[in-house]
Amino acid sequence: MIAGTQRRTAPRVFWVVAAVVAALGLAVGLWRLVQGLGATTNLSDAYPWGLWIVFDIFLIPFSAGAFTMAAIANIMNKEEYHAVARPVVLAGFLGYAGVVAILLLDLARWPQFYKILWPGFWNLHSFMLEVTLCITLYTIVLLLELSPLLWERLRMERAQRGFRFAGALIAGVGIVLSCLHQSSLGSLFLLMRESLHGLWWSPMLPLFFLLSAVFSGLAMITFVTVITARAYHHPEHVDLLPGLAQATGVLLALYTVLRLADLIVRGQAGLMFGPGAMSALFWVEIIVGAVVPMVLFALPTVRKTVAGLLWGAVCVILGLALNRASVGLFALERPAGAQYFPSPIEFVAAIGVLAIAAIVYAVAAQYLPVFSETAVGESR
């Protein structure tokens, strides 16, 4: 019935654990909407942004695998990547859907969320506006990129043919939107010149955020491909990854050089060797997130092994998480004595969103041609 796909269901323990976590997440999410932010989170005037915002500004560049994959498969038309494109784009879409869900939970006046979509209210100087509009549109673009899954499943030939022509255009729109919001996430923090620590604040923030989204996207492709190749028995998909790993290494090197050069040009290089937690945080981020994976990916013997690829990708993703947590939380100046540790509800809601995403992924993999040979946004 389903062309080119095997029906493969995830183990029962996955369904049970994911369902319990997802149900808990949904419950505490609803509780937060009904009870308000103060009653359910540990946020305060000193810490207006917490775990949820860090979760969002991390998950957006993590999900960038979808747009880098679209660039490789649809624009540069590298056919060998078409087979791994769908699992990655599906993961990317679920990442963005999770971001939107958490963003909604985080809005103190959530019943009015739709007002941000009303052009009469738009403040075009606000990067919060640009980010919100771009991720809303991009989530729709990802849905379109995934729609051939449905046309194929339902054998709707005409829709399939239509998408063959629209594929590259949709991918192109998605890539432009991604470049915009990935850089705008960095631009959000341009206003914080006086409060964001000098090791992270820079007029180059938009460029740094865009560049790190691209290499994190490549790392996410590696990560998702290794995991799904194992879970769904497509070992041949891993063969493409050493090439991606090499490209990731080059981008990491460029990023590291730019970060250091920027500190020197701004005369802030001394902060790298300053006392206190900030310089330590900076070095852990650079070493774990850039230097270690750069070395791993530079060694042909390492990048040709599945373990080497996986560990390299995990390091890049950890480095990304540290960077976004520093910019969004740790490295912002606070009133003396202020403290923040996320509440259990903040943790459970964030993990619950990930569990829901995992369930949707497993269901889609079971019933839709996710692992068929055709590319996203394109049908045979």
Partner 1 sequence: MGQHSILIDVGRCIGCHACTTACKVKNDTPEGVFWTRVSTYEQGTFPDARPYSAPLSRCMHCEYPACASACPVGALSKSEEGAITYDPNRCVGCRYCMVACPFHTPKLDWDSVISSIQKCQLCADRLAADLEPACTSVCPTAALSFGERASLLSEARARIQESGGQYVNHVYGENEVGGTSLLYISPVAFENLGFSTLGDEPVTELSEKVAVIGTPAIAGVAAVVLAGLYWVTKRRERGKAASRSVEESE
90 CB contacts (<8 Å, ≥6 apart)?
Answer: 146, 149, 361, 364, 365, 370
Q: Which one-letter DSSP state was computed for residue 272?
A: G
The single-letter code of the amino acid at 267 is: G
**Which residue, 111 or 276, has its beta carbon nearer to partner 1?**
111
**Which residue, 183 or 248, has its beta carbon nearer to partner 1?**
183
The widest CA-to-CA distance across the chain, in whole angstroms, is 65
CB-hemisphere CA count at 13 Å for 162? 10
CB of 188 to partner 1, least distance (A): 7
Residues 211-240 that bind partner 1 (CB under 8 A): none
Neighbours of 39 (CB within 10 A): 11
Alpha-carbon span 9 to 35, nearest angstrom: 38
Q: DSSP alpha helices (H): ranges in the chain?
A: 12-35, 37-40, 51-62, 65-70, 82-106, 127-146, 148-153, 157-187, 205-231, 241-265, 277-286, 292-298, 300-303, 306-325, 344-367
How many chain residues are in contact with partner 1, going by CB under 8 A? Answer: 60
Residue 127 makes contact with partner 1 by CB under 8 A: yes
Residue 183 makes contact with partner 1 by CB under 8 A: yes
CB of 74 to partner 1, least distance (A): 8
Residue 106 makes contact with partner 1 by CB under 8 A: yes
Residues 321-360 that bind partner 1 (CB under 8 A): 332-333, 335
Where would I find the beta strands (DSSP E) of 126-275? none
Q: Which one-letter DSSP state was computed for residue 372?
A: S
Is 219 in contact with 68 (CB distance < 8 Å)?
A: no
Residue 121 makes contact with partner 1 by CB under 8 A: yes
177 CB contacts (<8 Å, ≥6 apart)?
Answer: 134, 137, 138, 141
Rg (CA), the chain: 21
Residue 192 makes contact with partner 1 by CB under 8 A: yes
Angle at 42 between CA 40 and CA 48, to 5 degrees: 110
Residues 2-41 that bind partner 1 (CB under 8 A): 34-39
Is 349 in contact with 29 (CB distance < 8 Å)?
A: yes
**Which residue, 122 or 261, has its beta carbon nearer to partner 1?**
122
Residues 150-179 that bind partner 1 (CB under 8 A): 168, 172, 175-176, 179
**Which residue, 85 or 309, has its beta carbon nearer to partner 1?**
85
CB of 174 to partner 1, least distance (A): 10
Per-residue binding letters, 43-82, with partner 1 (x by CB under 8 A) = xxxx-xx---------------------x---xxx-----
**Which residue, 205 or 296, has its beta carbon nearer to partner 1?**
205
Residue 180 makes contact with partner 1 by CB under 8 A: yes
| Window contacting partner 1 (CB under 8 A); options: 102-110, 245-253, 314-322, 372-380 | 102-110
Q: Which residues bind partner 1 (CB under 8 A)?
A: 34-39, 43-46, 48-49, 71, 75-77, 106-113, 115-116, 118, 121-130, 132, 168, 172, 175-176, 179-180, 183-184, 187-188, 190-195, 203, 206, 210, 332-333, 335
